[in-house]
């Protein structure tokens, strides 16, 4: 039988919900078989487009689409230096599309190719935030009424930006927050949630690496009475050795990994059982091919998937969902509801995964089961300034500063 080969690779940049998404289409030599993937890197999507168009596309045109593993390995070492967020995202877009193609060729959903379902649907959590405790409580109640069993609680966004900031003269622009005030507000927040809503809901909080290592360890200990499902991103990738000390001093479960791009970030934490959930980001690790391997490694060490799909495109959400449905060791999956634009999203991405009572369901269509309406996607262009950067992201929440004007981790 003549092999089906890659005929063309195209990218579509779109931003129906404000965040810039980069969709990848891999067209094949077989008429009617096209794979869809996601290569989104919302702050640097132009760089990802260049990587695909200038470097990966010439490498892969003519390749047999069935050789997913070899294509991934070849692509990863093509530039010699590897495991960057840009290059991993580019590879992920093509890798996810190739799995979609393989599913269509086999007439099976991708989760069947991975070994079938371990569960009929994946538990998801969303974010109850607010400018004060009452607003957080109101949003928390809405999610509970919708059937969510897992809810992330934040007060004033990352870093708890609800406090008055006093800074010296001539500080630079940035996203300012007060670390000590933030740490105290987290305790008040979870006191309020447990006192008003009981213990039936699994609670999550994202530190976003906004505290010093010793202060976040103290926070984790102080949160023990509230029995969190997990505390997220206690330390940035530069300070992962602190998880050893964290494990020695608190029983609060730990989750990390949404910005990981290199195996040496997640492997030691999983091998030494220093975390309880690995925050698999399907685009930043390079696609489904490495994602399924990370899931297997986590399972062998008693670590569960706590997959990231927060600002992801529906295509990345679908790919993540297929891995989560298959993986035996799974906890919950982050998801930012597109409910307020559900009609638009359903039309733009036919086959959109459905959420009911806090669980996300894949359809049983071949491949990922999702497509894209290209004409509609072009109606929502990515917002750009003269430098070609996403004005929603640069330099707002990633330009984080403490009250004295010091730059800190976002």
Q: pTM value?
A: 0.95
- The token pair that represents 71 in the structure block: 């294509």
How does pLDDT run across 127-168, given as a tens digit for each residue? 999 999 999 999 999 999 999 999 999 999 888 877 788 889
pLDDT at res. 367: 98
Please compute the mean of the pLDDT values over residues 226-251 and round it to a whole number: 97
Helix 213-222 / helix 179-197 crossing angle, nearest 10 deg: 20
Supply the CATH classification number for the domain 112-366.
3.20.20.120
Instruction: Of 276, 271, 226, give the one whose Cα is nearest residue 246.
Output: 276
Strands 122-128 and 333-334: parallel
Distances (CA, A) of 211 to 180, 184, 198: 8, 12, 28
Question: What backbone torsions phi and psi does residue 121 show, to the nearest 5 degrees?
Answer: -155, 160
pLDDT at res. 397: 72
Active site residues: 158, 208
Please compute the mean of the pLDDT values over residues 11-18 and round it to a whole number: 92
pLDDT at res. 42: 84
Kindly tell me the burial class for residue 17, based on how many C-beta atoms sit within 10 Å of its own C-beta (0-12, 13-18, 19 or more): middle
Q: Which of 6-15, 17-26, 284-293, 320-329 has the lowest mean pLDDT?
A: 17-26
SS3 54: helix
Please compute the mean of the pLDDT values over residues 111-116 and round it to a whole number: 98
Length of the chain equals: 410
CA torsion 342→343→344→350, rounded to 10°? 90
pLDDT at res. 391: 47
pLDDT at res. 160: 84
How does pLDDT run across 323-367, given as a tens digit for each residue? 999 999 999 999 887 777 888 999 999 999 999 999 999 999 999
- pLDDT category at 396 given cuts 50, 70, 90 is low
Residue 19 or residue 240, greater confidence? 240
- CA pair distance 292, 298, nearest whole angstrom: 10
Whether 392 has a pLDDT exceeding 60, the answer reads: no
How does pLDDT run across 66-96, given as a tens digit for each residue? 999 999 999 999 899 999 999 999 999 999 9
Percent of the chain predicted with pLDDT > 90: 81
The residue extents of the domains of the chain are: 112-366
How does pLDDT run across 268-280, given as a tens digit for each residue? 999 999 999 999 9
Q: What residues pair up with 9 in beta bridges, in sequence order?
A: 26
Instruction: Of 7, 32, 36, give the one whose Cα is nearest residue 24.
Output: 36
């Amino acid at each position: 039988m003549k092999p089906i080969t890659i005929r063309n690779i195209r990218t579509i940049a779109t931003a129906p919900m404000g965040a810039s998404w980069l969709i990848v289409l891999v067209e094949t030599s077989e008429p009617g078989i096209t794979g869809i993937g996601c290569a989104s890197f919302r702050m640097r999507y132009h760089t990802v487009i260049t990587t695909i168009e200038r470097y990966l596309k010439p490498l892969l045109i003519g390749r047999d689409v069935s050789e997913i593993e070899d294509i991934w390995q070849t692509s990863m070492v093509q530039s010699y230096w590897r495991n960057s967020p840009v290059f991993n995202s580019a590879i992920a877009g093509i890798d996810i599309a190739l799995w979609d193609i393989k599913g269509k060729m086999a007439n099976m959903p991708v989760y069947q190719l991975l070994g079938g379902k371990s569960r009929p649907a994946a538990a998801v959590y969303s974010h109850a935030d607010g400018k004060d405790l009452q607003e957080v409580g109101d949003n928390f109640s809405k999610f509970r009424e919708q059937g969510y069993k897992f809810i992330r609680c934040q007060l004033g966004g990352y870093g708890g930006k609800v406090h008055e900031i006093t800074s010296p003269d001539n500080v630079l622009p940035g996203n300012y927050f007060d670390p000590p005030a933030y740490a105290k507000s987290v305790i008040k927040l979870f006191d309020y949630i447990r006192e008003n809503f009981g213990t039936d809901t699994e609670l999550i909080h994202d530190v976003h690496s906004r505290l010093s290592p010793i202060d976040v360890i103290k926070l984790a200990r102080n949160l023990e009475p509230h029995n969190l499902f997990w505390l997220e991103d206690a330390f940035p990738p530069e300070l992962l050795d602190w998880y050893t000390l964290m494990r020695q001093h608190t029983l609060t479960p730990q989750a990390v990994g949404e910005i990981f791009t290199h195996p040496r970030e997640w492997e030691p934490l999983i091998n030494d059982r220093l975390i309880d959930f690995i925050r698999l980001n399907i685009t930043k690790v390079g696609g489904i091919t490495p994602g399924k391997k990370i899931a297997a490694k986590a399972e062998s060490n008693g670590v569960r998937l706590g997959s990231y799909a927060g600002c992801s495109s529906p295509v990345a959400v679908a790919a993540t969902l297929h891995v989560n449905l298959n993986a035996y060791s799974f906890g919950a999956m982050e998801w930012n509801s597109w409910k307020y634009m559900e009609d638009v999203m359903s039309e733009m991405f036919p086959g959109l995964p459905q959420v009911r009572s806090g669980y996300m369901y894949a359809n049983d269509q071949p491949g990922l089961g999702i497509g894209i309406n290209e004409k509609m996607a072009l109606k929502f262009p990515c917002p750009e300034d003269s430098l070609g950067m996403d004005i929603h992201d640069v330099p707002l929440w990633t330009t984080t500063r403490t009250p004295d004007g010091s730059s800190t981790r976002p």
